[in-house]
Amino acid sequence: VSVERHFREMGINPALDEFTAIGIGDMGGDVFGNGMLCSEKTRLVAAFNHVHIFIDPNPDPEKSFKERKRLFGLARSAWTDYDTKLISKGGGVFSRNSKSIPVSPEMKKLLGIKSDRVPPNMLISHILKAQADLLWVGGIGTYVKGASESHGDVGDKANDGLRINGSELRCKVVGEGGNLGLTQLGR
């Protein structure tokens, strides 16, 4: 409801108008999954959870919605269950355990990356900083802090290597369905 209100104030009707989204979580998760099924017009361009990074630089809203719905219906689904034939050119599903991840021209354009390869945590930081209509926080962890806060202040050591400052967000709306995705100062 809060996301719809913010969109309405920007002149976007999420039931009728396509919008871009980046996200924290996966379709097997209740909060993330339900959020990504609220509109058939969602163009989910990037998401990550504790295991994988999903990138679809130019998704087909109808096909990707159906695939997200299919994943949501699977028991314990993961981003690796996503039908890769439906992912647009230059995208893919990548392991966070990789030493580095190849960055396609499409990913470079989407995320503002100049390097040909980046470590997973750097890729996630770029996702969090990406231009998008919506950042949907549906996973566990604190990914955005205030500039005056240290990573130690946040108290989520597992995400110190990828966390960004709130001033670095370039999304128009943050939907915080998960707990503590942003610190109070990060908001």
Mean pLDDT of 1-15: 90
d(CA 19, CA 85): 22
Instruction: Yes or no: say if 72 and 89 are a contact pair by the CB < 8 Å rule.
Output: no
User: pTM for the complete prediction?
Assistant: 0.95
Does 179 have pLDDT greater than 80? no
> 105-116: per-residue pLDDT in tens?
999 999 999 999
Rounded to 5 degrees, φ, ψ at 102 are: -65, 140
> 130-157: per-residue pLDDT in tens?
999 999 999 889 999 999 999 999 999 9
Pairing of strands 42-48, 170-176: unpaired
> 31-90: per-residue pLDDT in tens?
999 999 999 999 999 999 999 999 999 999 999 999 999 999 999 999 999 999 999 999
d(CA 144, CA 181): 7
Q: 118 is written with which tokens? A: 């980046």
Domains (range + CATH), the chain: 2-176 (3.40.50)
* Residue 25, C-beta contacts closer than 8 angstroms, at least 6 positions apart: 31, 32, 33, 35, 47, 49, 136, 137, 138, 139, 178
Rounded to 5 degrees, φ, ψ at 30 are: -60, -50
